[in-house]
């Protein structure tokens, strides 16, 4: 057998000595001092000769140490070459050489080119594979993959091994052992575990699951506890993933609460406005209190006029020459007025509405709309006609908005809550919740009753909406917001009925079938002799009519009067139906 040449080594000649390659002889080269020294041929570094001992040879496949190249070649031929007998000798040798070359190329070229650091990074990425199985981990009882010798072994010709860093691993001693007839532990799954559905142990609880129900990952430490900082990613089941301490927590992560800053910035705007509103409201209350004294006769109207000017200092006419709202200059036609609450100068143009005298009765009616924080305050008035209709309080537009808008909004909301629309909405919500709770077959009558009530409600709302539309056409009293609310509510109820219409139809059909079955199962009432005689006579008459129609039917066929046959067929069907009912009622008494 021809001996094989080892990659990276010198080729042996016939004498067993290594042959020199071409151009590798010893040449005499003069140095700088004129002395002639031999030039030694430099060979590329071989993977067989290590840096520890140039004379030591090792197998590139199994790293077994050899003494001579002949021994190494014999070892390669005996241990790492598959040779077939007969004609397959040369082919087997070529296959073995190709396999050895691939192994050598992978270990010595690819590993040195990639480097152990990139290999470790690739293995880290491999550990993060979501679809890892039970067989991608080491057998040392942990979820840490084994390191190859290339990671910690010889690199760049250095025989020193690096210090192995301790890597945390997750224990596997608590894993459930497969028995060959295992099923997924997820409730409702019950898949048989194997090659088709997978056979995966939850790294935390150790139970066996299928691939689909172990698609969750969390960080575990050596004690099988959730450790988001120092743990390693592991594949777990849904119950362990949801059962973490931080799963049901609220705002347990890092957050930056800016509520205080926003409240502080908001208070800079809101607090002064509220203080101004309270000051204006207090002044208006004092005006009404003084008018109550005037109404009771304890004070006069002249004293009230002086009290108006003393209550708030009026703006000096020399300081402002235009209206503070519309900024029109005061003139003979644009008269100057002062608001009785804030004291600023405003115009009295009714078109712009910068200031208007508000009747005392209207002011009292608005202020008697008490806000939630004013429940303990007493109501004003009523004033007599002498004061209520004559006396008015001039208020500017800004003061009216600041004093009255909140009360108007509160009144509208209260009216909406106490109105018919909200009552109907609450009733609809209650009926809908009852329908959702009804699941028992015995409550089908109650369910039909609930749907009928909702249907009546929809009909009533439809009449209400039509009445509003008619009022709008007649240009009468019409509220657009109220109309939109009623129409939206009616559309919501109709949509709910349409969604549940198939369910209602199924219940009704099932109820009718059940009633029919009960009626058929009841014992038939025994007929009296008189009833039997009457029904027999009726049966005889119907039978005679049937016989006559059959004869007439045959005659029309012979005469080819096909247009009249359809009417005869209909009459025949009705007669057969009535005869069948009579025979069923008579039972054994029929003939």
pLDDT in tens, 168-194: 788 999 999 999 889 999 988 888 998
Cβ neighbors of 589 (< 8 A, separation 6 or more) are 527, 532, 536
CB 168 within 8 A of CB 232: yes
Positions of the chain with pLDDT lower than 70, given as ranges: 1-55, 82-167, 249-253, 439-443, 475-478, 519-525, 590-591
pLDDT value at residue 109: 53
CA–CA gap between residue 230 and residue 167 (Å, rounded): 11
Q: What architecture does CATH give domain 130-244? A: 2-Layer Sandwich (3.30)
- Backbone CA torsion sign across 93, 95, 96, 101: positive
* Cut 0.85: pTM above it: no
> Which DSSP category does 191 fall into?
P
Cβ neighbors of 214 (< 8 A, separation 6 or more) are 198, 200, 202, 235, 236, 237
Helix pair angle (397-418, 259-295), 10° resolution: 100
pLDDT value at residue 120: 54
CATH class of 265-414: alpha beta
Domain residue spans in the chain? Answer: 27-114, 130-244, 265-414, 420-521, 529-589
pLDDT value at residue 149: 42
| Selection from 330, 342, 317, 333 nearest residue 397 by Cα | 342
In the block, tokens 């008459």 appear at 541
Domains 130-244 and 265-414 share a fold: yes
Tokens found for residue 303: 């004293």
CA–CA gap between residue 71 and residue 49 (Å, rounded): 15
Tokens found for residue 356: 């208007």
- Backbone CA torsion sign across 218, 223, 229, 231: negative
């Amino acid at each position: 057998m021809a001996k094989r040449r080892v990659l990276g080594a010198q080729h042996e000649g016939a004498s067993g000595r290594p042959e020199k390659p071409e151009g590798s002889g010893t040449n005499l080269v003069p140095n700088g001092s004129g002395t002639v020294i031999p030039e030694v041929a430099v060979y590329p570094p071989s993977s067989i000769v290590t840096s520890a001992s140039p004379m030591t040879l090792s197998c590139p496949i199994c790293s077994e140490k050899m003494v001579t190249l002949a021994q190494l070649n014999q070892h390669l031929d005996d241990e790492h070459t598959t040779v077939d007998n007969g004609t397959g000798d040369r082919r087997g040798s070529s296959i073995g050489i190709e396999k050895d070359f691939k192994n050598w190329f992978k270990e010595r070229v690819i590993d040195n080119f990639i480097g152990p650091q990139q290999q470790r990074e690739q293995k880290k990425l491999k550990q993060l594979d979501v679809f890892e199985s039970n067989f991608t981990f080491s057998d040392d009882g942990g979820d840490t993959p084994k390191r190859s010798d290339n990671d910690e072994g010889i690199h760049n010709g250095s025989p020193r091994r690096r210090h192995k860093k301790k890597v945390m691993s997750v224990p596997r001693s608590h894993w459930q052992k497969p028995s060959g007839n295992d099923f997924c532990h997820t409730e409702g799954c019950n898949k048989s575990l194997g090659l088709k559905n997978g056979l995966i142990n939850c790294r935390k609880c150790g139970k066996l699951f299928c691939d689909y129900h172990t698609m969750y990952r969390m960080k575990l430490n050596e004690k099988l506890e959730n450790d988001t900082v120092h743990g390693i990613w592991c594949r777990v089941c849904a119950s362990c993933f949801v059962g973490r301490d931080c799963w049901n927590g609220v705002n347990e992560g890092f957050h930056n609460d800016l509520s205080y800053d926003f409240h502080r910035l908001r208070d800079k705007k809101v607090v002064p406005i509220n203080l101004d509103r309270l000051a204006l409201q207090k002044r208006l209350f004092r005006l009404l209190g003084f008018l109550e004294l005037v109404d009771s006769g304890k004070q006069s109207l002249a004293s009230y006029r002086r009290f108006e000017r003393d209550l708030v200092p009026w703006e000096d006419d020399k300081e402002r020459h235009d209206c503070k709202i519309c900024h029109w200059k005061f003139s003979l036609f644009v008269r100057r007025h002062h608001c009785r609450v804030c004291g600023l100068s405003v115009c009295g143009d009714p078109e712009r509405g910068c200031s208007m005298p508000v009747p005392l009765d209207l002011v009292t009616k608005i202020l008697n709309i008490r806000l939630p924080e004013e429940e303990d305050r007493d109501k004003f008035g009523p004033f007599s006609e002498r004061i209520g209709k004559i006396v008015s309080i001039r208020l500017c537009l800004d003061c009216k908005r600041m004093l009255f808008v909140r009360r108007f909004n509160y009144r509208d909301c209260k009216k909406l809550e106490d109105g018919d629309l909200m009552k109907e909405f609450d009733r609809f919500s209650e009926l809908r919740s009852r329908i959702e709770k009804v699941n028992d077959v015995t409550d089908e009558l109650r369910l039909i009753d609930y749907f009928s009530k909702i249907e009546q409600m929809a009909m009533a709302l439809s009449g209400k909406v039509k009445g509003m539309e008619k009022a709008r056409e007649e240009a009468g009293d019409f509220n657009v917001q109220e109309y939109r609310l009623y129409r939206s509510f009616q559309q919501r109820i109709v949509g709910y009925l349409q969604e549940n219409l198939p369910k209602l139809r199924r219940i009704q059909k099932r109820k009718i079938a059940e009633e029919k079955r009960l009626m058929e199962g009841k014992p038939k009432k025994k007929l009296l002799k008189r009833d039997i005689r009457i029904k027999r006579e009726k049966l005889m008459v119907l039978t005679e009519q049937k016989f006559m129609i059959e004869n007439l039917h045959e005659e029309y066929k012979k005469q080819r009067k096909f247009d009249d046959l359809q009417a005869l067929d209909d009459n025949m069907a009705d007669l057969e139906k009535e005869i069948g009912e009579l025979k069923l009622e008579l039972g054994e008494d029929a003939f």
